[in-house]
């Protein structure tokens, strides 16, 4: 990459990083070209020339969150053997990432779902597609654990995926809103209880 | 109540009702004296003279949501015998109310918690107090079921309350954001699974 391309990549990364910060603090609708420009000392037209419309910037922010989330939660868990060890690694990493959310970007998938649930339009559609894609990956990990005989043969994968998502939403609520220091331990206890009920 | 008092009460109810609609559609921060005035065809000063500041209006909206929620979910369940029948009635009604949330006011407790989780100030404090109060009522219902011998003696009431809240957050997410028609059935299945695990 030549110096000019590198500079351009860095600027784009700074723009999307500012989008992530805004979404994390105030929601996806807080992302505007002007707000991002103000954060990183660019002009509004400078932001536009690099990412395009406000909507394109909002979508790029969701995509960047998805990349980071996969890199932090899913990719490292792929090192664990297929089946329950891998599923367990995914869930444990997901819980830890959610507990330590202050150190990362807030969960834009979850907060975004509550923010956009009764709106319509391309931003909602985009987030919906990304969340469905992530749930698909989680579902495959559940099915692999069933195929390996680690979970009961009659496990309803959609049900378990939905219960795992509920567990994380509850953890976000208790850790971030109630500021309850026991929230992550409770989430781990819920996961152990779920595991027992699907392996018994 | 004389005619003047009645008219005044009706106007106040219309103001708080408009606050509920705004919070339900766009969040608690969307409640302003002007936005409420516009909705019901009053002047901004007319709204102010009845409820006071914007913050007082936001708090009154949270309180009205709490009253309705108790009236719809908790009060009718009090007719069921103390212990598991009553706890079961609460949870079943809570699930139905959440499933049918379009017919009611959106869940301002849950959406508000995600909206305000990283903000500070009296509105957050007020919502926090209300949510803790509701969780206390739910916790008492759990403890009564333990005392009646309907749930295991070593039941961790805080853990179960937190799991019930997670279940509802997952239902809200799946029903309102994913628009998954199986969401309520899944929430009921989760409740049955929880019950088995706490009664086994």
Phi then psi dihedrals of residue B32, to 5 deg: -130, 160
Q: Specify the pLDDT at position A103.
A: 63
* Contact indicator for B145, B151 with CB cutoff of 8 Å: yes
B107 falls within a domain: yes
In order of A36, A61, B61, B98, the CA distances from A41 in angstroms are 8, 18, 39, 44
The pLDDT value recorded for residue B104 is: 65
Is the distance from CB of B20 to CB of B109 less than 8 angstroms?
Answer: no
Residue B4: what pLDDT?
Answer: 85
Identify which has the larger pLDDT, B101 or A173. A173
CA distance B162 to A191: 13
Instruction: Report the pLDDT value the prediction gives residue B7, as an integer from 0 to 100.
Output: 87
pTM for the predicted model, two decimal places: 0.92
Total tally of structural domains belonging to chain B: 1
Inside any domain, residue B184: yes
Asked if residue B44 belongs to a domain, the reply is no
CA distance B152 to B200: 8
Cβ–Cβ < 8 Å for A62, A126: yes
A163 touches chain B (CB under 8 A): yes
Which chain A residue's Cα is nearest to B171?
A166
State the CATH number of the domain containing residue B122: 1.10.357.10
User: Taking CB atoms and an 8 Å limit, are A186 and B159 in contact across chains?
Assistant: yes
- Nearest residue of B to residue A120 by CA position? B177
Complex ipTM, two decimals? 0.90
Question: What residues in A contact B117, CB-CB < 8 Å?
Answer: 172-173, 176-177
Q: Cβ distance A72 to A104 under 8 Å?
A: yes
Q: How far is A184 from chain B (nearest CA, A)?
A: 11
Domain that holds residue A194: 3-199
Residue B28 resides in a domain: no
Helix, strand or coil for residue A49?
helix
**Contact yes or no for A66/A59 (Cβ under 8 A):** no
Quote the DSSP letter at residue A177: I
Please tell me the predicted confidence (pLDDT) of residue B1: 75
Does the beta-carbon distance from A114 to B177 stay under 8 Å? Answer: yes
Distances (CA, A) of B163 to A90, A123, A163, B139, B148: 20, 31, 10, 12, 21
Residue A106 has a pLDDT of 75
Q: Which of these, B82, B93, B97, B101, lies nearest to B140 by C-alpha position?
A: B82
On the question of pLDDT at A2 being above 90, the answer is: no
The residue among B156 and A105 whose pLDDT is bigger is B156
Residue B26 lies in a domain: no
Residue A102 pLDDT exceeds 70 = no
Query: Has residue B40 been placed in a domain?
Result: no
- pLDDT tens per residue, range A45-56: 999 999 999 999
Who among B116, B170, B176 is closest to A169 (CB)?
B170
Q: Give the tens place of pLDDT for each residue, A132-168.
A: 999 999 999 999 999 999 999 999 999 999 999 999 9
Q: Which residues of chain B have pLDDT under 50?
A: none
Q: Identify whether B127 is part of a domain.
A: yes
What pLDDT score was predicted for residue A1? 75
For the segment B1-59, what is each residue's pLDDT rounded down to a tens digit? 788 888 888 999 999 999 999 998 888 999 999 999 999 999 999 999 999 999 999 99
Q: Which whole number is the average pLDDT over A83-98?
A: 96
- B113 found inside a domain: yes
């Amino acid at each position: 990459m030549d110096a000019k391309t590198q500079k351009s990549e860095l600027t784009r990364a700074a723009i999307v990083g500012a989008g992530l910060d805004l979404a994390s603090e105030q929601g996806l609708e807080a992302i505007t070209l002007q707000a991002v420009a103000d954060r990183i000392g660019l002009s509004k037209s400078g932001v536009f020339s690099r990412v395009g419309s406000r909507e394109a910037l909002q979508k790029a922010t969701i995509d960047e969150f998805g990349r980071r989330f996969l890199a932090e939660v899913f990719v490292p868990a792929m090192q664990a053997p297929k089946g329950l060890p891998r599923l367990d690694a995914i869930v444990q990493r997901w819980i830890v990432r959610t507990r330590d959310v202050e150190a990362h970007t807030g969960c834009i998938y979850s907060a975004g779902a509550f923010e956009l649930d009764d709106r319509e339009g391309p931003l909602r559609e985009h987030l919906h597609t990304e969340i469905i894609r992530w749930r698909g990956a989680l579902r495959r990990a559940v099915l692999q654990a069933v195929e390996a005989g680690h979970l009961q043969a009659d496990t309803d994968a959609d049900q378990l995926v939905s219960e795992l998502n509920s567990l994380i939403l509850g953890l976000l609520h208790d850790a971030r809103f109630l500021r309850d220091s026991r929230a992550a331990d409770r989430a781990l206890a819920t996961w152990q209880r779920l595991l027992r009920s699907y392996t018994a």
